[in-house]
Amino acid sequence: MKPIPGNKIFDALKDTNTIVMATNIRMMNGVALGVFKAAKEMDAAVIIELAKSECDLKGGYTGLTPELLGKKSKEAAKKAGHDIWALHADHTTIKKGDEEELNSIRKLFDAHISAGYTSFAIDASFTFDVNAPTVEKALKTNIESTTKMYNYLREKMKGKEFGIEVEVGEIGYHDGRGNVKTSPEEAVAFIKGLKANGVEPDLLAIANGSAHGNNYDADGNLIPQLSIDVKQTIKVVEALKKAGFDVKIAQHGITGTPREFIKTHFPKKAILKGNVGTFWQNLVWDVLKENESDLFNEITEWTLNSFRKEAENKGIKKDDQIFGLYSKKANGQFFDKLYNLKKSTVDAMESKAFGEAEKFFDAFNAQGSAEIVRKNLRRKPLKKYKKPGKNIKKPKKNTEKIIRN
């Protein structure tokens, strides 16, 4: 089961009340199959993604290269029999925007494309110049770098369609006064600049109060995340709409946000893509703790020994918090062991991931979203489908007949 172009999913669902779940699964064993089986069960569109820090040509901190992630995702999709999904490059981060850095991104995109990726996030949000006199000038490097990388993707995808996410405002960025959020003015100036250069983004990631990973209070206790600024998010989307830009929000950093809050408070027509990452890693550690405690203890010990100093320099002292913030690095370190777990452990990961993914699809109002995407695919057949509609129209006629009779 190959991934479909991301833009086909975003186009089909942008005016519905659905958020598409994008999962950063740092350890695919069992978890990916559970997510795909839940997507199949609920007929929900789903996205598999990893950021550049998690997955690059050398494997990032998860040990997964784009090629490996592509292979494992396709295997899980096939096993579950799920057709409506995209393979997305999350946070392809550009920090400076010089040619040397952009060339390394070009190489990474080449690897994504040959692994079958169908959607890409170009993230040059770090380049924001806080000292610039105007918003336009502050965004200059971001707009230029994003444009260059978009043009590169266009050229290398050779006419094939793909999804595109761009980013303004670094997720979870704090200045001296607190969490810095993206203003409507900034978002409009950014998209305006990109559109003037011919860039057509499907999604915009903004800073709106969320943070990546697990959240802790000042005493190091794990706390739920309720800091996503819903009003500001709606304001940004309304400003974009008013300016004539049909771009929706990619919500980053959802781990720790109660599903009930997502279900009742998330503005579904403003947020189109919801990234869930660390949640799946927490699930893996929970299952491992129960089923293979020796390995879990080994991972805990390695994490604490390797990162205690770095954590303490940041004022983090509690073991639980150090583990919660740094154990992501263990995914690559223990790669061989994590992909050689007991069958019963993998089965437990799959069944737990299945149940949790169902809860997310429910909170995101995503049940049946895959069928909306399928209809969109039929309406505008892709070039690569040589005989569009051949397998679709006939059964439809039969169904109609049965109903009429």
What letter does residue 127 receive in the DSSP assignment?
G
Least Å distance, CB 129 to Zn ion, is 21
51 vs 283, which CB is nearer to Zn ion? 51
Stretch that binds Zn ion, among 123-131, 230-238, 250-258, 386-394 (CB under 5 A): 250-258
252 vs 273, which CB is nearer to Zn ion? 252
End-to-end CA distance of the chain: 36
Least Å distance, CB 252 to Zn ion, is 3
72 vs 252, which CB is nearer to Zn ion? 252
37 vs 252, which CB is nearer to Zn ion? 252
- Distance of alpha carbon 299 from alpha carbon 12, whole angstroms: 42
Contacts for 282 with CB less than 8 Å, ≥ 6 apart: 214, 255, 324
Is 252 among the residues that bind Zn ion (CB under 5 A)?
yes
33 vs 108, which CB is nearer to Zn ion? 108
Stretch that binds Zn ion, among 126-134, 155-163, 244-252, 297-305 (CB under 5 A): 244-252
Least Å distance, CB 15 to Zn ion, is 24
Return the amino acid letter for 175.
D
Is 148 among the residues that bind Zn ion (CB under 5 A)?
no
42 vs 262, which CB is nearer to Zn ion? 262
- Distance of alpha carbon 157 from alpha carbon 151, whole angstroms: 10
CB 372 within 8 A of CB 379: no
Q: State the number of binding residues for Zn ion (CB under 5 A).
A: 1
Is 37 among the residues that bind Zn ion (CB under 5 A)?
no
CB 162 within 8 A of CB 118: yes
Is 328 among the residues that bind Zn ion (CB under 5 A)?
no
CB 230 within 8 A of CB 267: yes
Is 374 among the residues that bind Zn ion (CB under 5 A)?
no
Instruction: Identify the three-state secondary structure at position 132.
Output: coil
Q: Which two tokens stand for residue 177?
A: 């006064």
Nearest to 359 by CA among 251, 252, 283, 250: 283
Least Å distance, CB 172 to Zn ion, is 9
Stretch that binds Zn ion, among 130-138, 153-161, 247-255, 370-378 (CB under 5 A): 247-255
52 vs 252, which CB is nearer to Zn ion? 252
Q: 158 — alpha (psi -120 to 50), left (phi > 0) or beta?
A: left
**Rule CB under 5 A: which residues touch Zn ion?**
252
